[in-house]
Each structure stands twice: as C-alpha cells, then as structure tokens.
Chains A and B, each alone.
Chain A
Amino acid sequence: MTAAGAAVAPGNSRRVVKSVLTRIGFYVMVLLLGVFFALPMLWLLAAPFDRTPTLAAGVPDFTFDNFVRVFENPFVLPSLRNSLILALATMVLVVTAAALCAYALSRVHLPGRDILLYVLLLFSAVVSGTAAMVPLFLLIFEIGLINTHTGVVLVLAGGLMPAGIFILKDFMDSTPASYEESARVAGASALQTLRDIVVPVVRPGLAVIAVWTVVQVWGDFLIPFILLRDPELAPAAVVMFNFYTEGGQANLPLISAYSFLYSVPVVVMYLFVNRRYGFRFYGGIKR
C-alpha cells in the first residue's frame, strides 16, 4: 500500500524489492477491483446503442433508433419528471426532518433511543414488503391521498426516515459540542446554531443521505404502483414495465434505451453532489 511503500529505508535492497512487489500487488488488486465493478456496466453502454440488443454486452451495431423509438412513447419524459418530483420531494423531507431529529437525539439524552431507532428500522423493513400493500393502500385512501404524489412521498419518507436518522445521528455525535457553545455565547438560537454551525460541518453526510434517499425513491416500484393510478403520474420504475409484452417478454431495444435514460439522472446527480458537496460519511473535523 502507499503508506508502506513510502516508508522504505534507502539502501536496503530486500526492502526495495519487497516494496516494489507490494506496489505491483497493490495495482493488480486495484485493477481487478476496477474490472469487477466496471464490467457489468458495459451492457448499459452497449445495448442501448445496438441495432439488435441482446442480453449480452458486445460492440454495438451503432444506432440511435432505440432512443428515437423510446421518445415516441408519450410516458417516457413524464415518467422521468415524476421520478424527479418524487425523489426530490422525499429527499427534502427526509433530509430536513431526519437532520432535525438526529440533532436533537444526539444532543438530548433520551434513554433507550438507540433501541427505539433500531426498532423503527425493523419496521421500515416490514413496510417495504409486499405484505404491507393493504395497510398502506387503505391508509392513503382514507386520508384522500390516493393517486397523488404527496401520498407516495409521505409513505416513502416514513420508510426512509429511520435509516436517515440512524446514520445522521452518528454524524451529529461526531461534531464537537464546543462549536455550538461558542454560538450559544454569541446568542444564537437553536435553529440558527444547527443551520450555521452543525450543518456546514456535517454537509457531506447530509449529501450522502440526500443521494441515498433519491436513489431509494428512484428505484422503488411497489409504493407508487400501489398508490398511483393515472399513467401521467407514474414514475420511471413503474413505466419501465410498459416495455414488456402481453406475454411478459422484455422488449430489449426499448428497455435498454429506457434503462439508460433511467440511470443517467441518478449518476449525474451523484457526480454533481460529489463535486459540489463532497460525498463522505464524516464531518469537516480535521485531525
């Protein structure tokens, strides 16, 4: 590893050899890992541009026809817009509410809060299962939010919140309270302290939760499928199933192109967030 490589004592040939070998081993390992993670993605780069895509990645017989055909579908663009609405709304809700809650839980001692949080996590697993279909539907139906994005956002936010709080509380715990004391001396309110002192410090963590939330919503099929009726409101995860035939066969030219369109926004968002806010699970505390 790099650290080991740097610590070579000059003049000792055995050590030099060893360090060279370590270095080679290091690069081989990194290369293998890179191949492992990159390889499956080839299909997403090849198939959408292939005249006759199959379930195999290969050099495409290049064409944009698949995209042209996908865009002829009246639901493709609305579906991406709907996904964006659902994802952003849920993200704002989860990040804000979870950050506030995590901060409070981190600063005020509440006996049993960690167990409580874990139980909530377990509940979110229960609710994400197919068996929760009836309760979720009836709940949203009775409060009149069937066939609205609001209903979907609330249910998704409820399910993602515990993990958000769980993770963010770790971050909040790791920011030294002394910063906040100074703010308090300066007469700042609790909300101001959170906004001006804590948030900047945990910003990369918030970015992770934000991206995580968006990704979860982006891929979720069950909740929007149960709660939405108008095809104009359906997000991409649901519209993806438009591209199967009556007998359940995947229409690969359309599906591959749609998969590409469906993946690009989250990838771009991650790259943007990563560049702009950083994407780390730690605060700005430098040691």
Chain B
Amino acid sequence: MSPSPVRSPAVDAPPAPGGKGRAREDAGSQRSPAEVLGVKGAASFVAPAVGIVGVFLIFPALWTLYLGITNLRLTGLAAAEPQVVGLDNVTQALSDPSFLNALWVTAIFVLGSAVIGQTVLGLGLAWLFRNWHGWGRQALEVLVIFAWIIPGSVVAFLWIAMLDGESGTLNALLPGGVGIEWLLTYPMLSIIVFNIWRGTAFAMLLFGAALNTVPPSHLETARLAGAGAWRQLVDIVLPTIRGHILTALLLVSLWTFNLFTPFLLTRGGPNFQTEVLPIYIYRVAISQGELGFGAAIGAIMLVINLAIALVYIHVLSERAA
C-alpha cells in the first residue's frame, strides 16, 4: 500500500504492506504484473489517456501559459495583433494592490476552508464513521455527499438563502432575532464555511479509505496499553495514513485555490474582501478583456501551487524521519 502520489521514500516506506510486496515484485519475480503487462502492454494502456491529455490538456495549457507573456485581448487592437511583452504582466501584477489583495484573500480561503476545514472535518467524519454502521451514519454521509454533488450554480442560491439578513435560515435559527447580513458582515468566514460544507465529502471519502489501511491489530495493541481515541489517532493512525493526508491536501488545496464559486455568493465583495484569485482573473480577463494578463496570473497561481505541494511533501516526509 503506497498511496502517496508524490513519492518520497521516507513517506511511504514502513507501514505500507502492499507497497513492500510490490516493490519486491517489481525488482525481480518472474511473474510480476509488470511482466504480465510488459512495456508494450503498458504503453498501449497508457496511450488513450496520453492522447487525450496531450491534445486537449497539455497543449492548450502550454498555449495559455504562452499567452501569459503576451498582451492578448479578446477585442481591440491587441486582439488583432497581440505583442509579446515578456514578464511585463507578472511585474504589473506584483505591483497591483488588487492582485496582492486577491493573493492574500486566497491564502486565507485555502488555509481556512481546505487545509483546516475540509481536511480536518473530513478526517473527523471518517473517524466517526469507521466502526459505525447505523442508519444515522448512512444519513449523515449521504447529506455530506449531496452537498458535494449539487451543481455549483444551484448551491449558490442555497447559501444566499441560508445567509440572508432579513429572512435567512441561519438568522431564523439563532436566538434573539438577530438580523445579521452574514455575507456583508462576515464575508470571509461565510465563504470559508460555505466551502467546508461544499467540499468536505472528498476528504471524508479519501480518509475513509485511509483508515481502512490501518491494521486493526496496531490499534488493539495501543488500546490495551491504555491509549484513548485521541492518542490512537495521533500515535498510530496519522503516521500510517500520511500518504493519504498528502493526497488529500494536494488535491483539496489545488481545487480550492482555483475555485470560482465564491463569486456566485459575493461577486468578490463587499469591496473585494472575498475576491479570490479566480475571481480576480475573471475580472481582468473577462470584464477588462485582458486575456494575456489573466493567463499570466494563471501561471503565477501554478507556481504557487507547485510551491505549496513542495511544502506539503517536505513537511510530511520530515515528520516521518
């Protein structure tokens, strides 16, 4: 078992029974699946995905990154004759207070809703569900997954209705007849909670799988030694599922980083307080028509995400050492 997507030896070496076995097979055993597949076989298995990804993803992605060094616009003179402007877009972005604001807002949003919110709540739910098979568990799980699969444009209406100041469901439930305009008074908190609601299902499913890989015998031993649930979680479970945590963090952070849905709740407001980078890009690329500049921001986001990924890998492998 080696679930770590970005592999570093320290991360997935010891507690991965399947992985160890496979490593041995990879190395030598005549009947290893690698040979069942063969290099040619493997190539033909990979071909459809590579074909589609190559033409419809890698190609337009590189093309978009290239646009980041041009001043391309959708209309106007720069649409007819885009010029290569090199790193001007990046310099311009870094000196634009709106960009820096968006960067900061995005950082808080990702940290609050993805890294802490979805990951912790997802793990909590998975832990809650691990030995529980009643109808209550089924119901809760289904609700969590519903929140994840309802289309984004519909979800926006749900949350506007939830957080409305005059007649919102939340205010109706709170004692004292408060009329808080949540989206105006606590905009950042609102979209963070919204995104936790929206995306926890994925982390929950992933950690559900992860907890299954923790050998029950280890937990049993710990329990006999008098460890409570918390200690079991920290001492046994977390180290074992480090790879899954990495997977969850990588995906959830990346997806949240690129999430446009807050726009439907706040349009980035009030006064840009919730203008995350994808909304900022929308504003410059569509409202202002600066596609080249928008593409450059996209490239900056890519680099930031790469950096975040490296930090995750570094931290999680250090802990193993």
Contact = CB atoms under 8 A, between A and B. Distances in A.
Nearest to B202: A212
Interface stretch (B90-98, B99-107, B159-167, B268-276): B159-167
B140 interface: yes
Query: Which of B55, B63, B278 counts the most chain A CB atoms within 10 A?
Result: B63
Interface string B33-57: 1111111011101101110110111
A177 B21 contact: yes
A37 B251 contact: no
Given A131-B285, A139-B56, A139-B60, A173 B22 contact: yes
B31 A43 contact: no
A235 to B, nearest CB: 10
B1 A2 contact: no
Interface stretch (A9-17, A53-61, A63-71): A53-61
Nearest to B194: A40
B31 A185 contact: yes
A74 interface: no
30 contacts: A30-B136, A34-B143, A39-B170, A40-B155, A41-B147, A55-B161, A58-B167, A109-B26, A114-B5, A118-B250, A121-B250, A124-B61, A125-B305, A126-B302, A129-B281, A129-B298, A131-B294, A133-B74, A134-B67, A161-B53, A174-B18, A177-B18, A177-B22, A177-B25, A181-B36, A184-B35, A215-B151, A219-B151, A221-B153, A280-B205
Given A126-B65, A129-B285, A157-B56, 13 more contacts: A4-B229, A37-B143, A39-B170, A47-B161, A114-B7, A129-B258, A136-B60, A158-B60, A161-B49, A181-B36, A184-B33, A211-B149, A259-B153
List of 4 A-B pairs having minimum Cβ-Cβ separation, nearest first: A158-B56, A281-B209, A56-B167, A101-B49
Interface of B: 1-7, 18-19, 21-22, 25-26, 29, 31-39, 41-43, 45-46, 48-50, 52-53, 55-61, 63-65, 67-68, 72, 74, 125, 127-128, 130-132, 136, 139-140, 142-155, 157-162, 164, 166-170, 173, 197, 205-206, 208-210, 212-213, 215-216, 223, 228-229, 244, 247, 250-251, 254, 257-258, 278, 281-282, 285-286, 291, 294-295, 297-299, 301-302, 305-306, 309
